Amino acid sequence: MPAWLSDAVFYEIYPQSFNDTNADGIGDIEGIIEKLDYVKGLGCNAIWLNPVFDSPFKDAGYDVRDYKKVAERYGTNEDLVRLFDEAHKKGIKILLDLVPGHTSEEHEWFKKSCEPERNEFSDRYIWTDSAFCGIAGHPYIGGEAEREGCYMLNFFKCQPALNYGVLNKTEKWQLTPDHPSCIATREALKDIMRFWLDKGCDGFRVDMADSLVKEDDEVKSATGAVWQNIREMMDKDYPDAALVSEWCNPQCALKYGFHADFYLDHHGNGYNVLVRDCETEGGDHSYFKKDGGDGPQRFLKDYLPRYEGSKDYGYISFITCNHDTPRLTKALDISEIKLAYAFFFTMPGVPFLYYGDEIGMKYLDYVRTKEGGFQRTGSRSPMQWDKNEKNFGFSDADKDKLYIPQDLSDTAPSVAEAENDPDSVLHTVRSLISLRHENKDLQADGDFEVVYTAEGERIFVYRRGKLVIAVNPDGAEARVKRADFKCDTDASGNLIYGIGSADFTDEEIVLGPQSFAVWE
């Protein structure tokens, strides 16, 4: 396990929307370098960079045309290496976004695979043996290549699936995971990883990490074997490099070699019911919604088995949001968001802060889709640095050339405005991350234990090492008697962090409406 992960707090940067330095309306690597001091000032000591590789951008870069070349709109390979170097000087790690399950249909591998004559790339993708033989249970394309066959898709039409084999083989054209061609695909992936690790990259966030071997078993054991092989390579040659999965199943992902796994926004899971439970009947019952009425029990029912089943192998990563998820401002107000952030940054594991969430950027539901974003596009608008500058300081381009339109409302937040408001969510985020860095018990490896919950009550009390933490998302005061604690604690009434009002006596904890507190 890379030691630096224990105190890591990540900042996710969507490169095309962060900072544009050449006035083309699209963010670039130079723009990220320019803002590294800002990232460090938040307290974030690691960055997850969404794909910057050469692409036709039919899925915002998740359709890779060349894994070893930076897309021209972002800069050059040399620019990316300079980002690594400048970030490292400031104590910031950089994770690149690895897309292992598919490429662009414009990738040279795929072009070769489409040729009718057999070659070394013929089996790099999953093909049937006839243009009239489809692939049951999977999306596929036929009739677009000279080759006799249909090919499987991994997601969009532009993303043909790379071939890591089929575990439960039922057709003669399918290959098993141990077939030499499938092994060659795995080795090609390792070659890409080595290329960037050798240039200074600190690891990878892995897109759709569970999507490699098809017709896998319930626990994805064949896909897991691929990652275990890759982890062996990393442990041997790059022991300080990190691997973070988009899987949302830490019991599998962490055992198969990932150091951390995202707690994703899947409808009805523990993360979802905390902040995005707005698709159920009867209104929004999100735990952090002031009038949501929900206690922490639904969250804990989902989270605790995940945590207990994986804590010996790696970390669960809470996210404030990501490029695929509606920003919290779509459903929660700033007072509710502050409590949610306080919770995320004081839980075990490695947290991720999405760019713009630290100032309360809005989800823009009126923007048109861009590069395959569809409903996700509203969370990908350009960063809002300063209202008094052109395009909020994001770009000097004409407004109609911006990657995605910005928030033009009178209440649109900005970094400059937030800096001058001591009550802003920006200052809350900074103070929470600072608290985490200052207290080892709040970092990734610190113990976690439920101290108090009760049906019908919204207050939640938990322990991180020697610290006792309590949150009350409700609009009314909440009290808990120490005699009702589910575990022993040596914490006293020494308050080291608070939002709202709180008191911890020998007899009870008292939390005011919408309050959060940490005692030692």
Domain boundaries, the chain: 3-100+183-438, 102-163, 447-519
Chain-centre distance for alpha carbon 495: 31
CATH assignment of 447-519, among 2.60.40.1180, 1.10.150.530, 3.40.630.10, 3.40.50.970: 2.60.40.1180
- Which residue in the block uniquely carries the two structure tokens 């909440």? 478
SS3 at position 446: coil
- Topology of 102-163 in CATH? Oligo-1,6-glucosidase; domain 2 (3.90.400)
Q: Give the span between the Cα atoms of 512 and 89, in whole angstroms.
A: 43
- CA terminus-to-terminus distance, the chain: 29
b/e burial code for range 17-55 (CB count within 10 A of at least 16 → b): bbbbbeeebbbbbbbbbebbeebeebbbbbbbbbbbbbb
Q: Which H or E run contains 391?
A: none
Q: What CATH number has the domain spanning 3-100+183-438?
A: 3.20.20.80
Distances, alpha carbon 185 to alpha carbons 15, 91, 115, 197, in Å: 28, 34, 18, 19
pLDDT 10s digit of each residue in the chain, 520 long? 999 999 999 999 999 999 999 999 999 999 999 999 999 999 999 999 999 999 999 999 999 999 999 999 999 999 999 999 999 999 999 999 999 999 999 999 999 999 999 999 999 999 999 999 999 999 999 999 999 999 999 999 999 999 999 999 999 999 999 999 999 999 999 999 999 999 999 999 999 999 999 999 999 999 999 999 999 999 999 999 999 999 999 999 999 999 999 999 999 999 999 999 987 677 899 999 999 999 999 999 999 999 999 999 999 999 999 999 999 999 999 999 999 999 999 999 999 999 999 999 999 999 999 999 999 999 999 999 999 999 999 999 999 999 999 999 999 999 999 999 999 999 999 999 999 999 999 999 999 999 999 999 999 999 999 999 999 999 999 999 999 999 888 778 899 999 999 999 999 999 999 999 999 9
Contact 468, 517 (CB under 8 A): no
SS3 at position 419: helix
Q: Give the span between the Cα atoms of 106 and 293, in whole angstroms.
A: 50
Q: Which H or E run contains 18?
A: none
Distances, alpha carbon 458 to alpha carbons 231, 270, 283, 513, in Å: 41, 15, 17, 11
Residue 438, amino acid? E
Q: Is 239 left (phi over 0), alpha (psi -120 to 50) or beta?
A: alpha
| Beta-carbon contacts of residue 293 (< 8 Å; ≥ 6 apart) | 285, 458
Q: Give the span between the Cα atoms of 400 and 180, in whole angstroms.
A: 50
Whether the full predicted model's pTM is greater than 0.85, yes or no, is yes
Could you count the other beta carbons within 10 Å of the beta carbon of residue 510?
A: 19
